[in-house]
Amino acid sequence: MSPAPTRANDSDDVRAAVDGDRQAFQRLYRLHVGRVHGAIHRLAGYDHARAEDLTQEAFVRAWQKLPGFRHESAFGTWLYRLAVNVALMDLRARGADPVSTLDDEHLPEAGDTPFCAAEREELERAIAMLPVRARAVLVLHDIEGWKHEEIGGELGMATGTSKAQLHRARRLLRQILGEGS
């Protein structure tokens, strides 16, 4: 399916969902749930149950806020930002403020973490072990493809701080995985 028909279907389905068509919203859900869940799953530190709850919460909020969608961006972009905000608000509510600073002393010793670079599960565990702030910047930049300006705006930090946190996250990730400096 080409991108243009998807965007047209999104617009049609968004308009129909605003008018109360639940099947249209269900189509939007099926089309976007993978990307939304993936981003939330990574931001939640690969906590499967928490990611499921937050994904559901993101779609409930999307349903509630749908009448305010102005069609200035693609629906998928709007939904994705809403979902990331849901995950970040959850981190803050749990006292894991993504813009707070955690000391490196909270990290496990490199020998405590088994390493196999080819295994995705090991990398996911290592990312989950990062301090929340470092993990949020790493996920948003390296995995989700955000620019530092976007990250800074979303997390309330300067662009330079986002860059510094990305550098820190990568360094800590290498440390956790036992690759050395």
Q: What is the CATH number of the domain that holds 147?
A: 1.10.10.10
Q: Is the pLDDT of residue 108 over 90?
A: no
Domain boundary among 70, 93, 116: 93
Look up the domain containing 172 and give its range. 104-177
pLDDT > 70? residue 4 = no
pLDDT of residue 103: 41
Q: What is the mean pLDDT of residues 152-156?
A: 87
Domain shared by 60 and 115, yes or no: no
CB atoms under 10 Å from CB of 178, counted, come to 14
Question: Does residue 60 form part of some domain?
Answer: yes
91: closest CA among 82, 100, 78? Answer: 100
Residues 84 and 10 in one domain: yes
Do 87 and 22 share a structural domain?
Answer: yes
Rounded to whole angstroms, the Cα distance separating 18 from 21 reads 7
Same domain, 89 and 108: no
Is pTM beyond 0.85 here? no
| Pair 110, 164 in one domain | yes
Total domains in the fold of the chain: 2
**Residue 99 falls within a domain, yes or no?**
no
Do 125 and 71 belong to one domain?
Answer: no
Q: Place 8 in a pLDDT band, splitting at 50, 70 and 90.
A: low
Compute the C-alpha angle 85/141/65, nearest 5°: 20
Same structural domain, 17 and 88: yes
Residue 126 pLDDT greater than 80, yes or no: yes
Give yes or no: residues 84 and 140 share one domain: no
For 138-168, letters b (16+ CB in 10 Å) and e give bbbbeebebebebbbebbebeeebbbebbeb
**Would you say residue 100 has pLDDT above 70?**
no
Same-domain pairing of 7 and 89: yes
Mean pLDDT of the chain: 80
* pLDDT tens digits for range 165-181: 999 999 998 888 776 44
The pLDDT-based confidence of 119 (bands split at 50, 70, 90) is low
Measured CA to CA, the distance from residue 2 to residue 22 in angstroms comes to 24
